[in-house]
């Protein structure tokens, strides 16, 4: 079908320019020029196993599964391996959004088959047949329609995947990278700190800092605390006095243990920050921890927080120095904009949890995101490899701890899904 009567259109890549005219061919007083994108034809959701966005889904011998402190480490049988308590059972969620002209936007995040069901059977109704420019309205409808069974966790992961795929689609329809859609870059390159088992090697690779995992939590008592402090001191000796050294506690500590660990690690080893020490719901504990740590030491958290309302709690209660939302878990780019603005208004830094290109395109557009996180996904953390391999093709990786803006100058998020891997669609419609 052609345009409505009274509309003049001109073709352009991915859209039409539509201008309202009266019966004599003159532009109507109430007419407006606007871009008309092809409508969304279909939403599809797939589950993928083995690495990638679900970065805990690794083979045997990977550093990310080696006796790392977790909330489940209170049980001795679940201390050695995070996979033992099921951290990797869901797999990666892949969301595809196809426009009427055949253009496909996609994204990867966590959530696996349960998230596939939510996307296909619930969220798809808010997208199919819609204008892809309606990002705010679509997000709003997805969130509030799932409020009675969602709010955080798996449901918001699914919403995040859809939102990221929608931004990828918009970038491809416009022929622009996502960072341009977000207002443009404020710097010419990204600089990174590395998360992994070998901050000493990360220093040699050019990263500005290294964040190591905590291996011993409260369940291992005083001896565990001593071992943790010894590991931190040993790594400080390897990296020297000036390199940023941080500690990822992954929700494993109580307030007393976290306070003692922070104070001793600061005094003995100059630890720069302690990350995600407590349960993400313990806002009151984080407020106390921030008050308890030595002046100059930073408290960071937010990896497992979601939406502007959760981050409002962290910010208004002064729970931390840096918030760390994961764009694939907190609500997607649409929600991350609101979270970043909240942080900026409170004078706080926002350094997103490592999420590959999905955070890079955002960080490079924000002054209150001065650096980014890189997850060292090599099994021994001894080399730089694509973070979301094997699922993404064309994923940029840091060179000497940096990624140039030019590496991000491709439409959408600048990557493609690897069609050589098995994409299982459990709930086709």
Same domain, 331 and 263: yes
Determine the average pLDDT of the residues in 378-393.
97
pLDDT at 19: 44
Residue 72 counted as domain residue: no
Same domain, 188 and 216: yes
Residue 81 counted as domain residue: no
Give 315-378 as a 3 state SS string. HHCCCCCEECCCCCCCCHHHHHHHHHHHHHHCCCEECCCCCCHHHHHHHCCCCCCCCEEEECCC
Residue that is last in its domain, among 147, 175, 203: 175
Same domain, 113 and 253: no
Determine the average pLDDT of the residues in 331-342.
98
Q: Is the pLDDT at 428 greater than 90, yes or no?
A: yes
Using alpha carbons only, give the angle 325, 326, 328 rounded to the nearest 5 degrees: 140
Catalytic residue, chosen from 122, 353, 361, 367, is: 353
What pLDDT, in 10s, does the model give residues 7-54? 334 444 444 554 444 444 444 444 445 567 999 999 999 999 999 999
Q: Return the percentage of the chain with pLDDT > 90, whole number.
A: 92
What pLDDT, in 10s, does the model give residues 85-115? 999 999 999 999 999 999 999 999 999 999 9
What's the CA gap between 18 and 32, in Å, rounded? 8
Name every residue whose Cβ is closer than 8 Å to that of residue 406 and which is 6 or more positions away in sequence. none
pLDDT, the chain, mean: 93
pLDDT at 307: 98
Residue 420 counted as domain residue: no
Does the annotation count 367 as an active-site position? no
Residue 63 counted as domain residue: no
> How many structural domains is the chain composed of?
3
The CATH number for 169's domain is 3.30.390.10
What pLDDT, in 10s, does the model give residues 45-81? 999 999 999 999 999 999 999 999 999 999 999 999 9
| Chain mean position to CA 2 | 41
Residue range of the domain that includes 15: 7-36
Same domain, 245 and 214: yes
Among the residue ranges 20-29, 92-101, 294-303, 363-372, the one predicted with the least confidence is: 20-29
The CATH number for 307's domain is 3.20.20.120
| Dihedral sign computed on CA atoms, order 344, 247, 256, 306 | positive
Q: Is the pLDDT at 186 greater than 60, yes or no?
A: yes
Residue 142 counted as domain residue: yes
Residue 65 counted as domain residue: no
Residue 59 counted as domain residue: no
DSSP string, 366-387: -TT---EEEE--STTS-S---T
Same domain, 271 and 385: yes
Same domain, 163 and 237: no
Same domain, 170 and 190: no
């Amino acid at each position: 079908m052609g345009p409505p009567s009274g509309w003049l259109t001109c073709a352009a890549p991915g859209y039409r320019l539509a201008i309202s005219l009266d019966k004599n061919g003159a532009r109507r007083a109430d007419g407006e020029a606007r871009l008309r994108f092809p409508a969304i034809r279909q939403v599809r959701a797939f589950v993928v196993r083995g690495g990638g966005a679900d970065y805990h889904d690794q083979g045997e011998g990977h550093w990310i599964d080696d006796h790392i402190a977790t909330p489940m480490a209170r049980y001795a049988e679940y201390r050695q391996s995070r996979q033992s308590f099921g951290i990797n059972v869901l797999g990666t969620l892949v969301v595809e959004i196809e426009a009427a002209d055949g253009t496909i936007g996609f994204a990867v995040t966590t959530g696996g088959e349960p998230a596939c069901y939510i996307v296909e059977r619930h969220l798809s109704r808010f997208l199919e047949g819609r204008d892809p420019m309606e990002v705010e309205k679509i997000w709003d409808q997805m969130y509030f329609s799932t409020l009675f069974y969602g709010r955080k966790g798996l449901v918001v992961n699914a919403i995040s995947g859809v939102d990221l795929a929608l931004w990828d689609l918009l970038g491809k329809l416009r022929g622009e990278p996502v960072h341009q859609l977000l207002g443009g870059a404020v710097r010419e390159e990204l600089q990174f700190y590395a998360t992994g088992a070998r901050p000493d090697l990360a220093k040699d690779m050019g990263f500005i800092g290294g964040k190591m995992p905590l291996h011993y939590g409260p369940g291992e008592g005083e001896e565990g605390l001593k071992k943790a402090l010894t590991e931190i001191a040993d790594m400080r000796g390897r990296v020297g006095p000036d390199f940023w050294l941080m500690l990822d506690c992954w929700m494993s500590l109580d307030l007393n243990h976290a306070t003692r660990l922070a104070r001793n690690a600061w005094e003995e080893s100059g630890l720069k920050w302690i990350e995600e020490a407590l349960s993400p719901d313990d806002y009151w504990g984080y407020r106390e921890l921030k008050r308890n740590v030595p002046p100059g030491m930073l408290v960071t958290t937010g990896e497992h927080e979601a939406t502007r309302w959760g981050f409002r709690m962290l910010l208004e209660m002064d729970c931390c120095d840096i918030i760390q939302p994961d764009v694939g878990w907190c609500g997607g780019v649409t929600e991350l904009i609101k979270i970043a603005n909240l942080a900026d208004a409170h004078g706080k830094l926002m350094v997103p949890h490592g999420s590959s290109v999905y955070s890079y395109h955002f960080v490079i557009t924000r002054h209150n995101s001065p650096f980014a996180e890189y997850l060292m996904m090599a099994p021994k953390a001894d080399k730089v490899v694509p973070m979301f391999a094997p699922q993404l093709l064309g994923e940029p990786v840091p060179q000497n701890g940096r990624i140039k803006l030019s590496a991000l100058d491709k439409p959408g998020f600048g990557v493609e899904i690897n069609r050589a891997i098995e994409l299982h669609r459990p709930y086709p419609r």
